[in-house]
Structure 1
């Protein structure tokens, strides 16, 4: 039993017989966003969840999101309740279990098949993904990332459950983390995953009273079975030669006038003056007379709508918007780990179109929350980083860890695991200062003090910590985002609206804050001037647009760097070679050199003459694939037109999320932006 998704046809539920070569059978006739289907134990029914619309998937084709049932052979869908997710039948198939609530207030409940007679069995501060065994004797759950198993108490009252429960047996069964909990049919084994590892736990080994042997003999497994799924990385074929262009290579101050750049596959094979470089026979020639080529932009702090969970679209509009504006690499320092790394791998495999996506995954959150990372020892720090690295992260975000020694433990664990730490100080100057002293890779978001004086500048210079000020969301002063809403009609930007739902753009740009110019002068512009001072002393300053507005936000950040006194070339460096060096990616991207990956932008105008010319992106190439930036159709050696986004296929009001609610679960911190 499984669900499918198509951006045009929406979702469906299918059933397939695992015996023999049977073809899948479609069970649903209505379009919808279907999730979490499962059979009843007697095999007669299916329970599933229908989600509401969102600005990622579009119209949900239902006015009543919630839990539904349906005959196992398909047919009419029967609404049960609007509450809860992870629905499962009980063993007698006459009730449905589900999880309710969110954050630090989750419940595990059940109702009859009509959604009546609701009973709350369990409540938990940090617990989630409650999964009852088929015999209903056991309950598995996740508590602060780790997997636990408990006897399922049936007292007729609501029981508080968590990792510290002592009233009935609760046992830890994962070392660093466990996800996707599920049981064997005989209820004797619990299975879970972490990254590419698949783990199985025999209950008789964990609970002494089952097999009459001491559970002290049980050792939590460090390694599971490697799923060993390998997919070929996407790599285009053929040669493309860009001729007669101005090339800003980002090798120091190098600018090649009337140059040629040759791409073979996904690598740069030649670059130099046109008279010295000959396009190979059979190459596709792109005449760039009057145009400027520079490396693709790297957004070092790019929240790309990765907080959500659930269905992955075929086309993630945030990726298209970024590519259309020349952003070829995104580093997201806070995201839902399962979703962001899943989509990143789909891009690598050529199954999705998008920039290169890197991420810290879930932040190492120090304040309270059901996803916080409790760091009270170096082993806690090592465990938290191993958990993140298992998904594919090379960086972690230390965020709101309140004590300095906690942050130092994370730094030490990162050194041992060869990872980077990109922290945020929460707009606290001394918090940031200790991060610089302790050797963090970067500082994310601006220091909330301006101007910076020489003692601070020299300290920062010698610490070699990079800086991503995100002027677009400036601390201790008015944010740069509002400047551009005030001074430009963002809602009229045709390219932006071509790749972004109007329901996202209009509320932010039409109802705009109007402020005196000195508020901006004393806000983000002061921060930008401090960034200029730091850059002149050798500190790597990075462009990071924070996902405030996809695509165009990266350009605003570059322009705001220039407003603070940086030269146009320096401002461009913050979006290319600087973040590449800061993130350890400069051997592959960040500059245009032979042997590096073919990520580049072709602009109609010269950004060295006017920094606002960065918006004149004509072509974007990522990993050797060339796109017409105005349409995001693939061109060059491949001719592929993009399909429609949901708002292009369905222009009624239901396309926008405020009309029937967004039901996808989001993982975020208290400020709602991380």
Structure 2
């Protein structure tokens, strides 16, 4: 998200609070610095990750960066916090918060939830994060979603084997409500050719009237009355359709805990007409922060939804251990608390574990998107057990009538992410080979050059029959033909354009352009349960839409889907080539780091002819 240019003086710095001394580096090692009882040493954390453990360590150095001492290790802890008086240590493991005395014996203490060497208290009933101690060191604090928890700490509570002295944590609601962003005023898009997705027909000579962030009227341009003071745009016959919905859209939303005020990932998506994204695997803390900032109008981005961090079934500090329905409910409750309405069931190895997640999700009214995992037997049981959908391709070249008959009987969607199709070369490789992406002006305007040029200019080449994503795309056509639900998921491979790669790949597999466009719009809304607000152009729906270039018609040539003139997101209309806002609230976007820093200047070769980036 940020410039690849770094200072030479990275590390942990000591800064005087009164500004009397210049900051000086203490050490290059570690992160999350904190003082203990005295201010003569700095405590830091680091990991020594191996396949069987993360080995998170708590160590300290003096203020010159010397005399390193290792105090605590843990296989799977994610965070340590020391009380100000140096008496207590809190840590998080498997999403629970624990507290115990911090002893200085000269030996390294190895921590785990079941250690018996020291008295220890599990502080949380539900999950917790952001642990820290109060100013008097006698209270431990943590948060979960919009709840701030406080727990008095004493040796009596830690030492009581029967928990009779266990204190109760108090919870304070720290959430707030602010209005959802919507622009003021009205916009009329006149003389449009409307592809509403409510029917396969294109309606000619239409006007779309938007007030705030919703469509309030649609009709014949000659007959629809436009109120005074409405900002009017004559589209001169340009085609309009709903904004694209990418239901498998990975993309970074923060860097080292900081959410960018202008994230190129989001601008790239919008510039290519993607107005809603669902990310089935992202950092919990950053993705929901970005989602709320978008809703509040503090940042410009598509509507952003996510599962947050995956419910991982393999080894790792974020493993979600599930051996009962209560375990599954615990994990879904903690995700719902931070803003998730869906979870990613990721490689839980046993079928009963996956079933427990589904049952808990039904109790909590949540969706379950499982990781396909390139295992056909898992895919088939996921279909039978009623997951919301299958993410990623089934790992076979083709499926036949038996699987189709099975799939037909359930409402389980399919997001194949053909760019990373299993079993052979995926669509991403194909489109890198077919198009000169470094010549694509819109890509180079919104994606950092170091993300594009190395792979785009020196890409691999293969015979077309080696591209397995085309065979995989034929499966999506079979599902569509029997009334199944197939959605577009670009996997964040090259944000913005990768959603179009998915549509183009659908057509390679036999879908009509119209079927592909419906998969990228209405089907995504149905999959996410948002069809009341998104997916079609109708009065009452949210004003998320695409205006194509005048000669573009993606219903005839699916490659025209990227030829976008304007994009409207939440009622705000942008020039898709520059992402400057137009309409009632005109505003120019700021420059990205590679535009404002000469060392990060973009590279653009000769202007492309025809479709942007196409080779001729």
Q: What number of residue pairs does the alignment pair up?
A: 596
| Matching of residues 160-199 of structure 1 within 5 Å | 160-199=110-149
SS in 2 for 1:71: coil
Q: 1:132 to 1:248 in 2, by over 3 A?
A: same
Which runs of 5 or more residues in structure 2 are unaligned?
604-616
Alignment match of 2:166 (pick from 211, 214, 218): 218
Q: CA–CA distance in 1 between the matches of 2:440 and 2:156?
A: 60
| Contact persistence 1:619–1:627 (CA under 8 A) | yes
- The whole-number CA distance in structure 2 between the counterparts of 1:536 and 1:201 is 58
Pick from 555, 565, 568 the counterpart of residue 618 of structure 1.
Answer: 565
Residue of structure 2 equivalent to 1:593: 538
Does the aligned pair in 2 maintain the 1:205–1:218 contact within 8 Å?
Answer: no
- Mapping of residues 217-296 of structure 1, within 5 Å: 218=166, 221=169, 224-296=171-243
Determine the C-alpha separation between the residues in 2 that align with 1:385 and 1:587.
25
Contact preservation (8 Å) 2:267, 2:301: yes
Partner of 1:19: none
**How far is 1:513 from its partner?**
1.3
Task: Kindly report the root-mean-square deviation, in angstroms, between the aligned alpha carbons of the 2 structures.
Answer: 1.8
CA contact (8 A) 2:193 2:206 kept: yes
Which residue matches 2:307? 360
C-alpha deviation, 1:217, in angstroms: 5.2
More divergent stretch after superposition (259-268 vs 97-106): 97-106
The aligned counterpart of 2:501 is 556
Aligned residue for 1:579? 524
Greater displacement, 364-373 / 492-501: 492-501
Residue 385 of structure 2 corresponds to: 438
Tell me the residue number matched to 2:37. 91
2:96 maps to which of 118, 122, 146: 146
Distance in 2, matches of 1:71 and 1:333, equals 43
Matched, 1:114 2:64: yes
Deviation of 1:254 after TM superposition, in Å, equals: 3.7
Counterpart residue number, 2:328:
381
Match of 1:63 in 2: 8
Q: Could you say what secondary structure the match of 2:397 adopts?
A: coil
Aligned residue in 2 for 1:411: 358
Q: Distance in 1 between matches of 2:454 and 2:305?
A: 29
User: Could you tell me how far apart the structure 1 residues matched to 2:119 and 2:96 are?
Assistant: 16
Tell whether 2:70 aligns with 1:123.
no
If the length of structure 1 is used for normalisation, what is the TM-score?
0.86
Q: Shift in Å at residue 61 of structure 1?
A: 5.2
Q: How much has 1:232 moved relative to structure 2?
A: 2.2
267-276 or 583-592: bigger deviation: 267-276
Please report how far the alpha carbon of residue 569 of structure 1 lies from its aligned counterpart in structure 2 after TM superposition: 0.6
State the 1:309 CA deviation: 4.1
Residue 602 of structure 1 aligns with which residue? 547
Asked if 1:330 is matched to 2:277, the reply is yes
Alpha-carbon distance, 1:170 to partner:
2.1
> Out of 139, 145, 157, which is 1:207 matched to?
157
1:533-578 C-alpha deviation (Å, 9 max, x unpaired):
0011111100000001011111111110111110111000111000
SS in structure 1 of the partner of residue 164 of structure 2: helix
Is the Cα–Cα contact under 8 Å of residues 428 and 447 in structure 1 kept in the other structure? Answer: yes
TM-superposed CA distance for 1:257, in Å, is: 1.4
C-alpha distance after superposition, 1:365-405 (max 9, x if no partner): 00000001000110000000001111101000000100000
Query: Does the residue aligned with 2:208 lie in a helix, a strand or coil?
Result: strand
